[in-house]
Chains A and B, each alone.
Chain A
Amino acid sequence: MMARFALVPSILLCAIGFYGAMLWTVVISFTSSTITPRYEFAGLAQYVRLFTMDRWHVAYTNMFVFGALYIACSLIFGVLLAIALDQSIRGRNLLQTIFLYPIALSFIVTGLAWQWLLNPTTGLQNYVRGLGFESFAFDWLSSPDRAVYTLVIAGVWHAAGLVMAIMYAGLGSVDGEIWRAGRVDGIPRTTMYRRIILPMLKPVIIVCVVLLSMDVIKSYELVVAMTGGGPGYSTDLPAKFVVDNLFTRTNIGLASAAATLMLASIIVLLLLFGWLQKERVAR
């Protein structure tokens, strides 16, 4: 009994700190706060302002471009790596080392490493030119249209290992007799994976997608470390937009409105996830 009471303060603290902060953000988003919180109801004014800002549109669109590519590529690479692991006993340790370590790194480290690699004057372009290919150009990092794809490259490198680890565990849990049955039926391995094994692992894949989606919505460090949102604000993402407005531009109301929209996006995503799960149980 006492033990239970002992937990109460920490649970309360958590609830207030976490959900309280969320609630506060939502409340502030409906006020006219700027530098400091001001509890003066302003209706949807902050949201209207948000939607007139090109920078917010770029950030929100980037989230979908980056998100779609990041999730799709991380899944594809992660799954292929997991299958490679599942197939080969040799090289397993090497693959695991190469792709599992990035998970342990912070996005900052990943971002900086890739920033250095992709930077035209220090990285890959410079290196290849040094080999004698003078016309070689890889300057996505400094191109407003392409810079967002460099985020995808670094992000995928970071996340593919996680997908690999989760999927590898999933593949390992498949009953060996299913494979044997497939061999008796004469089903090629690729067909086996495509038509039987991966469909069996749909719940595991959904978990991966959700984890990756969370990454996308809250991705901040990667942008800061790699592009700083630039060139211009071409690689801004909502999280970066929020932090910038909160701390450097001191526009709490606007930042809260943006944060509330992010929260709404997450809730939509969770609902979608819940629905997919239920769908699965129903079948």
Chain B
Amino acid sequence: MIGVQIESLSRHFGALPVLRDISMEVQPGEFTVLLGPSGCGKSTLLASIAGLDDLQGGRILFDSADVSDLEPAERNIGMVFQSYALYPTMTVRQNLSFGLEVAKTSKADIQERVTWAAQLLQIEPLLDRKPSQLSGGQRQRVAIGRALVRKTNLFLFDEPLSNLDAKLRTEMRVEIKELHRRLGATFIYVTHDQVEAMTLATRIAIMQGGRIEQYATPEDVYERPASLFVASFIGAPPMNLLPATLKQTSHGVVAFTGDHTVSLKGYPFKIAPADGQPIVIGIRPENILIDGNVAPTLRAEVVVVEPLGADTLVWVDCAANRMAVRTHPKEAKGLSGSIGLSFKVENLSIFSKDSGLRL
């Protein structure tokens, strides 16, 4: 197991900054997922950890040893690429053993490692085939096998499942998680699929524009997003966001949104809020209750009802904001017109409108 420390890393292509002052620490044995929209720099960050690109600033340490100047091979990592990058003219067996041969590993040792990896990944029957004779999922396994035989404790994956169909992706996801458990090694995994991120990660680093917006456990990222970007990126549909204005009153802190007043009494503000500050209130669709009887917090007009099977999404308009409410199919039956909505203060996320950060 290897811990990875990244210290104020920066990377740019010409004048274009791609990574801006990134610092993070991956604990030994952790499964860290780098998640973010296309072009945010995930692959670049992973390539920097692998040593495939030169850095323009900052350091990378493996178990507190500086590896910034080492070649990828000297860093002793296993890496799986998005296009698999298998050597096409070689058989699966040669693909697995070639790097070891070049490194002058003994024949017996190579044989043993290849057999071990092939068994673990169940690719033994494929060992004498060429990559062109394999399906996408099989190629993926071979690519993982080539990383495994290096007997390392740090594995880097760059969108390994993005070329597979939905069903295979789900299967491989489970296998990769199982592999992580069995090897006990450190995994750093790039994806733009939030389901993959939520299911695999011990911690997720959410990236945007070359910065890390939040690096936390999947629960934290989901329930306590650190910024407006994270709130709107995670979740399907994402968190409902209502622009509002803060007011200090004799009843505690309240927020005005449209004609509604929302009491924020009991919200654990990290920074003391200022009177009249523009804010955004975030609330997950499943944390909103539909109730007509008790004094509701908000009133909204039902727009569409979308049954999803296990639950139902009710889309409503509330003070010119479109919101999604996740509810039980039974409750959603026959909903129309004006309804009342309520929620608990502890389920809210409140962001500063100016900085986009969680308050």
Q: Contacts of B50 on A, CB cut-off 8 Å?
A: 180, 184
- B98 and A195 form a contact (CB under 8 A): yes
Considering the complex, which residues of chain B in the window 52-88 have a beta carbon less than 8 Å from any beta carbon of chain A? Answer: 52, 71-74, 77-79, 81-88
A181 an interface residue at 8 Å Cβ cutoff?
Answer: yes
Considering the complex, which residues of chain A in the window 174-197 have a beta carbon less than 8 Å from any beta carbon of chain B? Answer: 175, 177-178, 180-181, 183-188, 191, 195-196
B271 an interface residue at 8 Å Cβ cutoff?
Answer: no
- A178 and B85 form a contact (CB under 8 A): yes
**Shortest CB distance A206–B (Å):** 14
User: Known contacts A185-B99, A186-B73: does B88 contact A200 (CB below 8 Å)?
Assistant: yes
Q: Chain B: which residue is nearest A178 at the CB level?
A: B85
- A183 and B72 form a contact (CB under 8 A): yes
Q: Chain A: which residue is nearest B103 at the CB level?
A: A186
Q: Contacts of A199 on B, CB cut-off 8 Å?
A: 89
Considering the complex, which residues of chain B in the window 67-126 have a beta carbon less than 8 Å from any beta carbon of chain A? Answer: 71-74, 77-79, 81-90, 98-99, 102-103
What per-residue 1/0 map shows which CB atoms of A184-220 lie under 8 Å from chain B? 1111100100011001101000000000000000000
A184 in complex: contacting residue of B73, B82, B83, CB < 8 Å:
B73
- A177 and B82 form a contact (CB under 8 A): yes
- B87 and A178 form a contact (CB under 8 A): yes
B211 an interface residue at 8 Å Cβ cutoff?
Answer: no
Q: Contacts of A185 on B, CB cut-off 8 Å?
A: 73, 98-99, 102, 146, 150
User: Known contacts A177-B81, A186-B103: does B52 contact A200 (CB below 8 Å)?
Assistant: no
B90 in complex: contacting residue of A175, A188, A191, A196, CB < 8 Å:
A196
Q: Contacts of A195 on B, CB cut-off 8 Å?
A: 98
CA distance A183 to B103 in the complex (A): 12
Q: Contacts of A177 on B, CB cut-off 8 Å?
A: 81-85
- B85 and A180 form a contact (CB under 8 A): yes
- B85 and A183 form a contact (CB under 8 A): no
Q: Contacts of A202 on B, CB cut-off 8 Å?
A: 89
**Shortest CB distance B303–A (Å):** 46
- B99 and A186 form a contact (CB under 8 A): yes
CA distance A196 to B146 in the complex (A): 15
Q: Chain B: which residue is nearest A186 at the CB level?
A: B73
B20 an interface residue at 8 Å Cβ cutoff?
Answer: no
Q: Contacts of B47 on A, CB cut-off 8 Å?
A: 180
User: Known contacts A185-B73, A186-B73, A283-B130: does B98 contact A180 (CB below 8 Å)?
Assistant: no
Question: For A180, A188, A196, which residue has the most chain B Cβ atoms within 10 angstroms?
Answer: A180
B81 in complex: contacting residue of A181, A187, A188, A191, CB < 8 Å:
A181
- B52 and A180 form a contact (CB under 8 A): yes
Q: Contacts of A196 on B, CB cut-off 8 Å?
A: 87, 89-90
Q: Chain A: which residue is nearest B71 at the CB level?
A: A183
**Shortest CB distance A266–B (Å):** 29
- A184 and B89 form a contact (CB under 8 A): no
Considering the complex, which residues of chain B in the window 9-49 have a beta carbon less than 8 Å from any beta carbon of chain A? Answer: 47
Q: Chain B: which residue is nearest A283 at the CB level?
A: B130
**Shortest CB distance B255–A (Å):** 50
**Shortest CB distance A178–B (Å):** 5
CA distance A184 to B75 in the complex (A): 9
Q: Contacts of B90 on A, CB cut-off 8 Å?
A: 196
- B73 and A183 form a contact (CB under 8 A): yes
CA distance A113 to B72 in the complex (A): 49
CA distance A177 to B46 in the complex (A): 13
Q: Contacts of B146 on A, CB cut-off 8 Å?
A: 181, 185
Q: Chain B: which residue is nearest A191 at the CB level?
A: B102
Q: Contacts of B150 on A, CB cut-off 8 Å?
A: 185
Q: Contacts of A180 on B, CB cut-off 8 Å?
A: 47, 50, 52, 72, 79, 81, 85
**Shortest CB distance B48–A (Å):** 12
**Shortest CB distance A243–B (Å):** 43
Q: Chain A: which residue is nearest B53 at the CB level?
A: A180
CA distance A189 to B90 in the complex (A): 17
- B98 and A187 form a contact (CB under 8 A): yes
**Shortest CB distance B256–A (Å):** 53
Question: For A175, A186, A196, A202, which residue has the most chain B Cβ atoms within 10 angstroms?
Answer: A186
Q: Contacts of B73 on A, CB cut-off 8 Å?
A: 183-186
Q: Contacts of A283 on B, CB cut-off 8 Å?
A: 130
Q: Contacts of B83 on A, CB cut-off 8 Å?
A: 175, 177
Considering the complex, which residues of chain A in the window 142-170 have a beta carbon less than 8 Å from any beta carbon of chain B? Answer: none
CA distance A184 to B99 in the complex (A): 9
Query: What are 29 pairs between A and B in contact, CB < 8 Å?
Result: A175-B83, A175-B85, A177-B81, A177-B83, A177-B84, A177-B85, A178-B85, A180-B72, A180-B79, A180-B81, A180-B85, A181-B79, A181-B146, A183-B71, A184-B50, A184-B79, A185-B73, A185-B99, A185-B102, A185-B146, A186-B74, A186-B102, A186-B103, A187-B98, A187-B99, A191-B102, A195-B98, A200-B89, A202-B89
Measured CB to CB, the residues of A under 8 A from B are 175, 177-178, 180-181, 183-188, 191, 195-196, 199-200, 202, 283
Q: Which 8 pairs show the lowest CB-CB distances between chains A and B?
A: A186-B73, A185-B99, A177-B85, A181-B85, A199-B89, A177-B81, A184-B79, A184-B72
> Apart from A181-B146, A184-B78, what 19 extra A-B contacts exist at CB < 8 Å?
A175-B83, A177-B84, A177-B85, A178-B87, A183-B52, A183-B71, A183-B73, A184-B50, A184-B72, A184-B77, A186-B72, A186-B102, A186-B103, A187-B99, A188-B102, A196-B87, A196-B90, A202-B89, A283-B130
